[in-house]
Amino acid sequence: MKIKPISKWIPNLKRPLVIAGPCSAETREQMMATAKAVVELEDVRIFRAGIWKPRTRPNSFEGVGEKGLQWLKEVKEETGLLVTTEVANAGHVELALKHDIDILWIGARTTVNPFSVQEIADALKGTNIPVMVKNPINADLALWIGALERLSLAGIDKLVAIHRGFSTAEKTDYRNIPLWRIPIELKRRLPELPIICDPSHITGDRNRVNLVCQKAMDVDMDGLMVETHPQPDEAWSDAAQQVTPTMLGEILKSLKLKTEFSHDRSFDQELNDLRSQIDRIDSELMENLHMRFNIVERIGDLKMKNNVTALQVHRMDEMIKKVSDLAKSMGLRGQFAHELYHVIHEESVKIQTEMMRSFLKKDTKDSE
Ligand code: PEP
Ligand code: MN
Using an 8 Å Cβ cutoff, are 48 and 103 in contact?
Answer: no
Name the CA radius of gyration of the chain, rounded. 26
Does the domain spanning 265-367 belong to CATH 3.40.47.10? no
Within a 13 Å sphere around the CA of 238, how many CA atoms are in the beta-carbon half?
30
Cβ of 25 below 6 Å from ligand 1: no
pLDDT (tens digit per residue) in 51-76: 999 888 888 889 999 999 999 999 99
Using an 8 Å Cβ cutoff, are 213 and 198 in contact?
Answer: no
CA distances from 367 to 26, 40, 204, 304, 363 (A): 80, 85, 67, 18, 6
Q: How far is the CA of 192 from the centre of ligand 1 (A)?
A: 24
Q: How far is the CA of 1 from the centre of ligand 2 (A)?
A: 29
The superfamily in CATH containing domain 6-254 is Aldolase class I (3.20.20.70)
**Atom 10 in ligand 1: residue holding the nearest Cα:** 108
Q: Can you give the residue ranges of every domain in the chain? A: 6-254, 265-367
| CA gap 150, 160 in Å, rounded | 13
Q: How far is the CA of 122 from the centre of ligand 1 (A)?
A: 22
Would you say the C-alpha torsion 190, 227, 178, 135 has a positive or negative sign?
negative
Cβ of 50 below 6 Å from ligand 1: yes
Would you say the C-alpha torsion 282, 288, 290, 292 has a positive or negative sign?
negative
The model's confidence at residue 366, banded by pLDDT at 50, 70 and 90, is low
pLDDT of residue 260: 66
pLDDT (tens digit per residue) in 14-39: 889 999 999 999 999 999 999 999 99
More confident residue, 297 or 264: 297
Cβ of 175 below 6 Å from ligand 1: no
| CA gap 157, 193 in Å, rounded | 10
Q: Which residues surround ligand 2, an ion (CB under 5 A)?
A: 23, 238
pTM of the predicted protein model: 0.75
The number of beta carbons lying within 10 Å of the beta carbon of residue 77 is 10
Using an 8 Å Cβ cutoff, are 216 and 197 in contact?
Answer: yes
**Atom 9 in ligand 1: residue holding the nearest Cα:** 108
* Beta-bridge partners for 50: 24
CA distances from 199 to 112, 151, 329 (A): 20, 25, 37
Q: Rounded to the nearest 10 degrees, how much is the dihedral formed by the CA atoms of 15, 205, 232, 81?
A: 20
Q: What integer is the mean pLDDT of 207-222?
A: 96
Cβ of 107 below 6 Å from ligand 1: yes
Cβ of 38 below 6 Å from ligand 1: no
Burial of residue 109 (number of CB atoms within 10 Å: 0-12, 13-18, 19+): middle
The number of beta carbons lying within 10 Å of the beta carbon of residue 13 is 15
pLDDT of residue 2: 96
